[in-house]
Amino acid sequence: MSLWLALAIGNSRLHWAAFSDSRLLHNWDSDYWTAAAIAQFAADPASAGLSIASEVSLQAPVPLAIASVVPAQTDLWQQYPAQQILTLADVPLAKMYPTLGIDRALTLWGAICSLGAPVLVIDAGTALTFTAADRANTLLGGAILPGLRLQQQALAQDTAALPLVALQPDLNLLPPRWATDTPTAIRSGILYTLLASLQDFACDWLLQEPEGAIALTGGDSALLHQALSQQNPALAARIHRDPALIFRGIPALRNWSLI
Ligand SMILES: Nc1ncnc2c1ncn2[C@@H]1O[C@H](COP(=O)(O)OP(=O)(O)OP(=O)(O)O)[C@@H](O)[C@H]1O
Ligand SMILES: CC(C)(CO)[C@@H](O)C(=O)NCCC(=O)O
Ligand SMILES: [K+]
């Protein structure tokens, strides 16, 4: 079995998937790697302690498809000998604009490959993005806002009195909306407005495309899906959560040849 990896470089961390031919075996997240760790991995992949290492034989260097929205990280990984950097030109979507993030293009393409078009993707990452395609795989556009952690950090960093709070101490319990202490007021403000944004974009999407699919991915997708299922169970049930969405369409990219 020949193994290759896909690496999506986000603004907070790395997202990985292991593939055997076009089959996605397994996906996981990690912190950023140092240049030394990358060089070590190129020479001796088993040394990285990847959890797939025991199932398959790892040839050095393991082929690696990279999608990055962080130029400094792209530079670092360009030193890796068996990499292919994915670009918008590889993604078979029409009407992409030149500065569209490759993660948004790939995640949308992944959603089309797994759910079909038309589809709306909600990526709850460092930035939270909405990105939609019509039934002809044409990008309709979308929106970008600060994600959950970024909102918490912005409040804590740019005010004197507001602390950095844990967003939801109990995943199964939405905070009271009308809070009477500071940490709960922050949780309420961020969570209820994010849920409102999500519902507003989703409702607009379903007006436009009543049979359209909706996919949710990103580091905060579990929390947001759980919170939404308490607030709006019918909408939550329509939303397909898939942490590996960005990887689903990589084997079906343009000119794809397993690197
Ligand atoms: N270990 C972690 N590091 C960073 N964020 C985490 C972690 N665990 C959970 N999160 C949550 O995940 C969110 C970031 O999501 P994700 O990891 O998908 O972002 P990213 O892919 O690095 O960023 P982007 O795609 O927007 O550039 C944060 O808002 C945070 O609440
Ligand atoms: C919006 C983010 C940060 C989400 O990861 C990324 O897709 C990006 O840097 N995009 C560039 C701008 C755009 O997509 O319009
Ligand atoms: K920036």
How many structural domains does the chain have?
2
Sign of CA dihedral 61, 64, 68, 71: positive
- The pLDDT score that the predictor gives to residue 54 is 55
Q: Which ligand is nearest to the CA of 126?
A: 1
- Identify the domain boundary among 85, 117, 142: 85
Q: Evaluate if residue 117 carries a pLDDT over 60.
A: yes
Q: Are 209 and 128 members of one domain?
A: yes
Residue type, 59: Q
Q: Are 175 and 228 members of one domain?
A: yes
Which of residues 46 and 143 earns the better pLDDT score?
143
Q: Are 78 and 102 members of one domain?
A: no
Q: Evaluate if residue 1 carries a pLDDT over 90.
A: no
125 C-alpha vs ligand 1 centroid, how far in Å? 5
CATH number for 198 = 3.30.420.40
Domain that holds residue 227: 92-247
Percentage, residues of the chain above pLDDT 90: 89
Q: Are 39 and 116 members of one domain?
A: no
Q: What is the mean pLDDT of residues 79-105?
A: 98
In total, the chain counts a number of residues equal to: 259
Determine if residue 104 is labeled as part of a ligand binding site: yes
Q: Are 96 and 79 members of one domain?
A: no
pLDDT band at 160 (very low <50, low <70, confident <90, very high): very high
Q: Are 208 and 96 members of one domain?
A: yes
Query: Packing angle between helix 148-158 and helix 182-208, nearest 10 degrees?
Result: 140
Ligand 1 contact via 14 beta carbon (within 6 Å): no
- Residue 123 contacts residue 225 (beta carbons within 8 Å): no
Residue type, 128: L
Which tokens sit at 13?
A: 């961390």
Q: How deeply is 34 buried, as exposed, middle or buried, from its count of CB atoms within 10 A (0-12, 13-18, 19+)?
A: exposed
Q: Are 132 and 176 members of one domain?
A: yes
DSSP state of 200: H
Q: Are 115 and 243 members of one domain?
A: yes
- The pLDDT score that the predictor gives to residue 116 is 98
Q: What is the ipTM of this complex?
A: 0.97
Q: Are 80 and 197 members of one domain?
A: no
pLDDT tens profile 208-256? 999 999 999 999 999 999 999 999 999 999 999 999 999 999 999 998 8
Phi-psi region of 116 (alpha: psi -120 to 50; beta: other; left: phi over 0): left
Please report the atom of ligand 2 found closest to the CA of residue 102: 7
Q: Which ligand is nearest to the CA of 147?
A: 1
Among the listed residues 191, 198, 68, the one whose alpha carbon sits nearest the alpha carbon of residue 121: 198
169 C-alpha vs ligand 1 centroid, how far in Å? 17
Q: Are 18 and 106 members of one domain?
A: no
pLDDT tens profile 46-74? 888 776 655 567 789 999 999 999 999 99
CA-based angle 70:144:184, to the nearest 5? Answer: 105
Among the listed residues 21, 16, 28, the one whose alpha carbon sits nearest the alpha carbon of residue 4: 21
152 C-alpha vs ligand 2 centroid, how far in Å? 20
Q: Which residues are catalytic?
A: 103
- The pLDDT score that the predictor gives to residue 168 is 67
Residue nearest atom 31 in ligand 1 by C-alpha distance: 149
- The pLDDT score that the predictor gives to residue 52 is 67
Ligand 1 contact via 188 beta carbon (within 6 Å): no
Ligand 1 contact via 218 beta carbon (within 6 Å): yes
Q: Evaluate if residue 258 carries a pLDDT over 70.
A: no
- The pLDDT score that the predictor gives to residue 56 is 67
CA distances (Å), origin 91, targets 3, 50, 104 = 22, 28, 11
Q: Are 152 and 79 members of one domain?
A: no
Residue nearest atom 30 in ligand 1 by C-alpha distance: 149
Ligand 1 contact via 147 beta carbon (within 6 Å): yes
- Identify the domain boundary among 24, 56, 85: 85
